[in-house]
Amino acid sequence: MTITSAHALDVELLPDERTWGPGFGSDRPYPAETLAEIAGYIAETRQPGYGDRLHSTSAGYVPGGDRAQVPPGFDARHHPNRAGGSPESMDPEIPTSLGSDPVQVDTGVQEYSRSRGWLLDQHGRPMHPHHTQLLADDRIGLPVGLGFSYFWGEATVADSVVTAAGQVLLVPRATDQGVIPALPGGYALPSDEGRSVAQWRAGDRAVTREGILTTAARKLRDETGFEVPRDVSPRLVRAIRPVSSPHTLNAWTCTYTVHVNLGDGPAPAVNEAAGAYWVTVDQLYDDVLPRMWPDHRRAVLAAIE
């Protein structure tokens, strides 16, 4: 297991602090405008199986020094996203309880979480690196448990901005507000970092630049049919720790933007039957950007400007 602090890993992956978006960098709190945006996301959608959101003022919450104490009543359990996976493919849910000997997550996961600098609760579950700020905001708070996610702690998401001859590659995404233009991308798998699910569940985890690029390339291939050419060197141009309705105190994401620049050559064919399509930069500014998720909009601009 590689032992590194959260901040040291952030710096290693993206040394240029100008590429750090909200939540990236353990010593940088979310700015006020981001908190307001998060509050809006939280209000928009209530996830299935999610209960009330924990706040720092909630009865029974103790911040703690070595371990925090989280009261029952705020669990996010049995989310439909987890129904599609076998028990062997994801961490088991643990209902929050109090007592002298609470159920513990795997000791390897606890060791890994401590190596990343994450505070643990009484079950050994890691807590969001900015949980103090999020729990203190009356508009936000966080539910407890795995919720939408497969694994405890931080999950990697890689979104790709593919550019070619003044065009950008997009895919459609279905949302509560209808279908919108979006970047191809999604969650990493343990295999992207050369790990089995069993290793990941036991705490043998890694987050590397190579693994993030592997995730981006895999999602590009799956969603658009596009294969990144061997002579192209994708690069990380942005990272954020977003907070929206699926995220919990104990399971959250870090999203990386990968720029795949194909230069001035013609835009390659993509799987139009799956919905992938190219837009010109002029179209992007005139019509597309306003309809994208704010985080995707900022990711595109980080790559092309």
Q: What mean pLDDT, rounded, does the chain reach? A: 94
Residue 220 placed within a domain: yes
Average pLDDT over residues 85-95: 93
Tell me the per-residue pLDDT of 245-270, one tens digit each, with 9 for 90 and over: 999 999 999 999 999 999 998 899 99
Whether residue 49 sits in one domain with residue 191? no
Residue 229 placed within a domain: yes
A 10 A CB-CB count for 68 gives 19
Among 77, 108, 136, the domain boundary falls at 136
Whether residue 161 sits in one domain with residue 115? no
User: What is the separation of C-alpha 174 from the centre of its chain, rounded to a whole number of angstroms?
Assistant: 18
- What is the span of the domain harbouring residue 98? 29-136
Residue 13 placed within a domain: no
Residue type at position 122: Q
Among 136, 166, 187, the domain boundary falls at 136
| pTM of the full structure | 0.95
Cβ–Cβ < 8 Å for 181, 280 = no
Whether residue 60 sits in one domain with residue 181? no
A 10 A CB-CB count for 184 gives 25
CA distance 10 to 7: 5
Tell me the per-residue pLDDT of 124-180, one tens digit each, with 9 for 90 and over: 999 999 999 999 999 999 999 999 999 999 999 999 999 999 999 999 998 877 899
Strands 185-187, 178-182: pairing is unpaired
Burial class (CB in 10 A: 0-12, 13-18, 19+), 95: exposed
For residue 71, the model assigns a pLDDT of 97
- Terminus-to-terminus CA distance in the chain, angstroms? 37
Cβ–Cβ < 8 Å for 284, 181 = no
Count CA atoms closer than 13 A to 30's CA, side-chain side: 24
CA distance 16 to 237: 9
For residue 3, the model assigns a pLDDT of 46
pLDDT tier for residue 6 given thresholds of 50, 70 and 90: confident
Which of 81-85, 217-221, 233-237 is the least confident region?
A: 81-85
For residue 111, the model assigns a pLDDT of 97
Average pLDDT over residues 191-219: 97
Residue 230 placed within a domain: yes
Residue 169 placed within a domain: yes
- Domains: count for the chain: 2
Which of 6-10, 68-72, 90-94, 271-275 is the least confident region?
A: 6-10
pLDDT tier for residue 4 given thresholds of 50, 70 and 90: low
Residue 61 placed within a domain: yes
Q: Which pair of structure tokens corresponds to residue 203?
A: 């705490």
Bridge partner residues of 54 (DSSP): 142
For residue 176, the model assigns a pLDDT of 78
